[in-house]
Chain A
Amino acid sequence: MTAIPKALQRALIAAGLTASIAHPASAAGVIEIDGSSTVYPITEAVAEEYQTRLGGARVTVGISGTGGGFKRFCRGETDISDASRPILKEEMVLCAQAGIRYYELPVAYDALTIVVSKDNDFVDHLTVAELKKMWEPAASGKITSWRQVRDSFPDMPLKLAGPGADSGTFDYFTEAVVGTSKASRGDYQASEDDNVIVQFVSRDKGALGYFGLAYYEENRDKLRAVPIVSSGNSAGVLPSIATVNDGTYNPLSRPIFIYVKDRSLKRPEVRQFVEFYLQEGGALAREVGYVDLPAAAYEQALSNLRGGKLGTGFGGTPEVGLKVEELLAREGKL
């Protein structure tokens, strides 16, 4: 009877020993990252690649959302914060109170894509004004047919789907289309899971939805992207790497960021990780379905980091249709 537990004990100790030998890096620090779930796939890819190629430091990534991430970041709990929108005034104040200074580094573009069902054959393009007509708060309960959006459209029920109010994508879309962040009609199918929006739109000829480009790329067989006409261009523009980078896919493309605490950069593993992010992040972003920045932008971000250019280029108010090169050249505010 007693022989078994003893053998088990030995096995456990042996397992413990091997495990402790297998993790010699346990003394090195952990790089803690939290924030937006939109930026998460890129950061995950960079963290994975960093750990396999360079080893050493351990990286953890959470998904508390952009706002939740900044809360933790400004409390000094994390080294890096993932953000799908720039830092806001209130968050800047919080960080300043805690004495936390940071670098704002754009890492990729996310292009919001307007999608309709594959069966939908009448929508050839949409203007930003038409999108506003569909989505503004005043449309609630009133704009219910495609005919009301444009006279040439059929009298078909208009069914809308989009991300819920907690999402950074929702914030940006409302800002870009309606003009005020978070101002949207309430009577649409809201979901935090973009796959639900894909299902909703693909099943209904009269449905329209929006989400990040990656979800469209994965569901091309079920959905059709709608070309967008804005004030800058008279012909409809589809989201793509080219149209995002030359700024013609406007105003629905936005840069996404990481914010890095300057004190954490004193730790060599954090500096190494952030530089790795800016060098390899572009290719990895493309691999996980995002649009990478032009190479010059990554170089500029890297030189901003090395040159100690702290702060945000937005000054606490989000802007629509800003080019990354312009942002990186701006004076930073803390």
Chain B
Amino acid sequence: MTTETARIRRLVARGKRFDKVFVILGLMSLMVGVLTLAVLLAGLVHDGAARLDWDFFTRFPSRRAGNAGILSAIVGSTLVMLITALTAIPLGVAAGVYLEEYARRNWLTEIIEINVNNLAGVPSIIYGLLALGLFVYALDFGQSILSAGLTLALLILPVIIVATREAIRAIPSSIREGACALGATRWQMVRDHIIPYSTGGILTGVIIGLARAIGETAPIITIGALTFIAFLPDPPLGAEFPFVSFEWLKSPFTVMPIQMFNWMSRPQAAFQVNAAAAGVVLVVMTLVMNGAAIWLRMRYRKRIKW
């Protein structure tokens, strides 16, 4: 009897030891990522802190590193991301909902699913080449904010579709059945239950997508983003009739990663400082976007009471 208990105790102790080893391993794996990011960020801040003042945000590029700023780049990045979000989110969510809730399970849906998953892994330069032919020339949008926004929207569409589908799949089918049992149509079920309950997961996908898009350089260079541009797009609201203008969509632009890339390749050390400072701004922009997503997700989670 006692030997039996001792045997079981030994077994449990061994299990616990393994548990501890796994925790340490897991923690170490986590630290590889977190520490790398921390060191990278600390390095950027250390190198770029000297340039991070108000002037840096309100000035245009210049040949004198000390006078150069990121105004045109930050406005360009913001507007491009706006177009990307406005296009990719509705399209991606609608596609995801359709595939999960409406599409029949047949070979066509299978092929579409496989393709969507594969598209998420296609190198971004390929999207740039596609966009150059399609948006810039065939549709004649030119080297504009609109073309860039649509290109990046295409790039992150698969990410949003996949995230939407995962989020929808996590909703228990009893919710769907309950709604249908009460006489809701499929659209009512999707509108009142599926979309609200999956918002948290969808937002995560959207932010991962947008965070990838804001750092993309290759496809934007392919469609012809500029490096030196010392003016801002036309404002969307004007003093004269019809007060609202969409000229800014057609405007030439530059974005943060391109400005950074250009400064990195300059010989003068002062430009390297600018590149580091722009890097800090870019990382902060991404972190703010991530923070917003986490906050929104918490809010939506609290509202759901199953």
Contacts and interface: CB of A to CB of B under 8 A. Distances in A.
Contacts of B228: 40, 43-44, 47-48, 59-61
A30 B252 contact: yes
A193 interface: yes
Interface string B227-255: 11111101111110000000000001000
A214 interface: yes
A193 B264 contact: yes
Contacts of A63: 221, 227, 262
B268 interface: yes
A315 interface: no
A23 interface: yes
A333 interface: no
B266 interface: yes
Interface stretch (A11-19, A94-102, A122-130): A11-19
A193 B265 contact: yes
Contacts of A48: 60-63, 228, 230
Interface size class of A (residues with CB under 8 A): 35 or more
A175 interface: no
A218 B235 contact: no
Contacts of B229: 60-61
Given A17-B239, A20-B235, A20-B239, A195 B230 contact: no
A218 B265 CA distance: 13
A45 interface: yes
A101 B225 CA distance: 25
Interface in A1-31: 12-13, 15-17, 19-21, 23, 26, 30
Contact of B230 (A15, A43, A58, A218): A58
B267 A23 contact: no
Contacts of B236: 16
B269 interface: yes
Interface string B47-88: 000000000000011110000000000000000000000000
Q: Which are the 6 A-B pairs with shortest beta-carbon distances?
A: A16-B237, A61-B228, A19-B235, A45-B63, A218-B267, A215-B267
Given A16-B236, A194-B267, 10 more contacts: A15-B235, A20-B235, A23-B232, A32-B252, A40-B228, A61-B229, A72-B224, A194-B265, A217-B267, A289-B268
Interface of A: 12-13, 15-17, 19-21, 23, 26, 30, 32, 34, 37, 40-41, 43-45, 47-48, 51, 58-64, 72, 77, 192-195, 212, 214-215, 217-219, 284, 287-289
Interface of B: 60-63, 143, 221, 224-232, 234-239, 252, 262, 264-269, 272
